[in-house]
Chains A and B, each alone.
Chain A
Amino acid sequence: MKTLLLAAAVAAGLAMPGVARANDKLTLQLKWVPQAQFAGYYVAQAKGFYKQQGLDVTIKPAGPDINPSQVIAAGGADVIVDWMPDALAAREKGVPLVNIAQVFQKSGLELTCRRDSGITSPANLKGKTLGVWFAGNEYPFFAWMAKLGYHTKGAHPDVKVLKQGFNVDPLLQKQAACISTMTYNEYWQLIEAGMKPAQLIVFKYQDEGVAMLEDGLYTLQKNLKNKAMVGKLARFLKASMQGWQYAINHQKQAVKIVMSNDTAGVLNVTHQARMMQEVAKLIPGGKHGLGYLQPSAYTRTVKILLASKTDPVITRKPVGAWTHKVWNAAFKH
């Protein structure tokens, strides 16, 4: 019996094609729940791009009150999707995050208002109630308010700010004149809830000059000192951008793949298709290719963050907060 088992084990070992090493493990922490905002990574996984690069990637979704920078600080991930203001703030607080790729070249954050509240331009915002997301998404809003010269705190603020949940009810119920929305998500939730585009007026932070860099890939500084880790991250980046390019070119398939990753069963196909369409508009931008962080865009974000005198997000100019090392290893041979 023992001889038989031994023979079987040897046969199984010989039968395997020359596998030099097991796939390298890597954990990616997303910024929100599984949705088309992260289609590129799910597509790369489903289409085997990660496997081709010899990677075994675990994609961890997030949700309300899950902060990717805290997850990576606690050792729960190797690379995270995060927005730049949040990453820079974390860096200043002692979590040494470094940007290794900028996936979204354009910003999708906007303030959507009801026309029947009398708002026609930013000048009308005074005296109104505005819903704002927090948890890392509030920085462009406060930068814009500072630019417009509106006070948001104290006994008699120029605008009344509400901490909005991640839904659109405050606008529908007229509890707020304006709410924070993404071009690819909550705006369409309003339309799907029955509002007409003519009833809404939208202020895109990109157009107001206070847009900040959104979805990017970040890792801890110590990972960049490890040559093997840099190699792993470069392969991950290459496969991820491949996934994004595929998702942009085959949107219907990408939506299907995202839906299959929806374990909670809450995603709606039409909404995800629209999200994929809008996200695809935000990703391309530079002449260098997908995922390249434009240093000018970084500098602009830092400038806006440092300019806010009230409630500054960062107090010092960040040093070493981004690198092209991984991008170059992935795409420049």
Chain B
Amino acid sequence: MAFEGVQMFSSTSVSLENEARATPLDDLENVVALYQPRVFRFLLATLRDRDAAENLTQETFLRAWSARASFREDCSLATWLIRIALNLARDHTRTGRFRFWKRVTASAVDVAEVAAFVPTQEGSAEAHLIAKQQVASIWETVAGLSARQRNIFLLRFMEEMEIPEIATVTGLPLGTVKSHLYRALAIIRAQHDFSPNNTTTHNATTKETE
């Protein structure tokens, strides 16, 4: 009986300890400063809507703060936050309202605006124009991918996450993640000829500049 009592006491104290356990999210200001750009970038590329991306970024941190006790540190805080953001984006895009407003919203991302941010590299102005066109084209192709392919592509190539990390974020098996990623890449390769003999883009750009 006494032993049971001791056991009960120890289990209670352990649960209290867990409740009072400090989490990295305790310093919310610092967490937001560190991860807000990353979460926002991902959501902006996924949703292609600035206002929705900002709202969901805020929602991500709010959810994370509310559920901070459940963060067991079995993955990095960034992975955990991106997982929350991904779930929110998924819920958001499921609603019919989003599909309607996506067509008419004023805060939708303009591809040309994104392409304007292509870093200026050493080389001709023509090469820079080609690069801009290529980026705009990839942006549009990514937008046309299925939600799962797009998310996995963005997690790999924008967030630079490793495949196992993407599997953790998406909750998908490694093989599924790989196959979605390969399909996304195949679509992008099919849409854009990256072969060295390709002159289509070059010709189009030179015509534009003329």
Q: Bound pair: A and B?
A: no
| Residue ranges of A at the interface with B (Cβ–Cβ < 8 Å) | none
- Residues of chain B whose beta carbon lies under 8 Å from any beta carbon of chain A: none
